[in-house]
Amino acid sequence: MSEHHHDHDHDLEMKKALRPKVERDTKYWNSLEQWSNDPEFNKIATTEFQSSPLREADDEGGWARREFLKLMGASIAMASAGCIRRPVQKIVPYNKQPEEVTLGIANYYSSAYFDGSDALGVLIKTREGRPIKIEGNPFPQSAGFRQFVFGCAQKKQHTSK
């Protein structure tokens, strides 16, 4: 077993020695100009990420400064836009106040759902008259709703937040 192992290692060493050597250039390049080591390109590359108005070669047409002013203008505009008031909202009261509605407090109605063979007690959460959630009625009265026909809602209020 161990002998066999030894042979195997030896074979591998031999194979490796016989492989052709590949010269790898581990320098990667992003553009042909970089690859060809273009002097003009190298000069620009050194200042690529310097957006300072004081950067080298600025006096050439003053382009960087103009860009700088443009950016500053934009940031001033954005900074002042940030102070504008939050969006305008409207409060639209009821025409006639419904007795059972208190804004901010949900009303719960128990009702029944008929699935074809059985009636199931359900609890419906409503906000300003709109149903927003239906769930199984956790209260024991739901047993009493077995006789209820679907859609026959009984008003049953529990207060909650």
Partner 1 sequence: MHRVFKRTAAGAMAFIGALMVTTLLTGCKFQPGWGYNKGYAPEQPIPFDHSLHAGTHKIQCQYCHNQIERTKHANIPALSTCMNCHLQVATDKPAIQKLREAYDNGDSIEWTRVHMLPDFVHFNHNAHIAKGVNCQTCHGPIETMAKVQQFSDLSMGWCVNCHRQPENKAPLNCSTCHY
Binding site for partner 1 (CB under 8 A): 53-54, 58-59, 65, 69, 72, 75-76, 79-80, 82-83, 85-86, 88-97, 102-105
126 neighbors 100 (Cβ within 8 angstroms): no
The least distance separating partner 1 from the CB of residue 122, rounded to whole angstroms, comes to: 25
Q: What is the DSSP string of 32-51?
A: HHHHTT-HHHHHHHHTTT--
The least distance separating partner 1 from the CB of residue 30, rounded to whole angstroms, comes to: 30
Judged by beta carbon, residue 62 or residue 144, the one nearer partner 1 is 62
Judged by beta carbon, residue 76 or residue 152, the one nearer partner 1 is 76
The least distance separating partner 1 from the CB of residue 83, rounded to whole angstroms, comes to: 3
- Joined together, the tokens standing for residue 109 give 């109605």
The least distance separating partner 1 from the CB of residue 72, rounded to whole angstroms, comes to: 5
Judged by beta carbon, residue 107 or residue 137, the one nearer partner 1 is 107
Indicate the DSSP class of residue 129: T
25: Cα separation from own chain's centroid: 41
The least distance separating partner 1 from the CB of residue 16, rounded to whole angstroms, comes to: 59
Looking up tokens 């790898």 gives: 24
Q: How many CB atoms lie within 10 A of CB 131?
A: 13
Judged by beta carbon, residue 104 or residue 140, the one nearer partner 1 is 104
| 105: amino acid identity, one letter | I
- Distance between CA atoms of 44 and 57, rounded to whole angstroms? 10
- Distance between CA atoms of 40 and 58, rounded to whole angstroms? 16
Judged by beta carbon, residue 28 or residue 94, the one nearer partner 1 is 94
